[in-house]
Amino acid sequence: MAVCNKEEAYTWSQTREELTINVVLPSGIRSDHVRCEVRAGIEIQISVAGQQCEKEILKGDLFNAVGSSVWTIENHILTLELEKKQARFWPRALHGGAAVDVAALEKQEELNRQPVYKIPPGKCYTSAQEQNLASYVA
């Protein structure tokens, strides 16, 4: 089968532990027409088989190694979920792809771990005041 009409359009997101890649598929494609492979934990290839040729949608090397993977299709979007072998943020999903600011991701992660409200140092509340504060949080 010949490879035709290569198109590399994808979006991606990540946590420290997982990478998610979303690819828009041509309309009318069924899951049995899609081939999604992760080779040696580093190379991905997504293609669609048609009557005349195979259309390569996305092919490339991941920024780092992954372990398990699973893919699904919903509303013409293929979602590939990959478990990273090392838990850390990546600057890009694929070599040569768009980069993100890893330091900004780490800073945002730290901010998300902070409690919404902290009692100021040296400040004590009576149990009635604590109950009143709890009603604002709930």
pLDDT for 7: 43
- Using pLDDT thresholds of 50, 70 and 90, give the confidence band for residue 18: very high
Neighbour order of strands in the sheet with 3-4: 3-4, 54-61, 43-49, 34-39
pLDDT for 137: 52
pLDDT for 54: 80
Closest CA to 8 of 95, 81, 75: 95
**Is 50 exceeded by the pLDDT of residue 4?**
no
Mean pLDDT over 131-135 rounds to 55
Amino acid, single-letter form, for residue 17: E
Burial class (CB in 10 A: 0-12, 13-18, 19+), 130: exposed
**Residues composing the chain:** 138
- CB-based contact 85:64 (threshold 8 Å): yes
Token pair, residue 7, equals 């198109």
**Average pLDDT of the residues of the chain:** 83
Q: For the segment 39-94, what is each residue's pLDDT rounded down to a tens digit?
A: 999 999 999 987 677 888 999 999 999 999 999 999 999 999 999 999 999 999 99
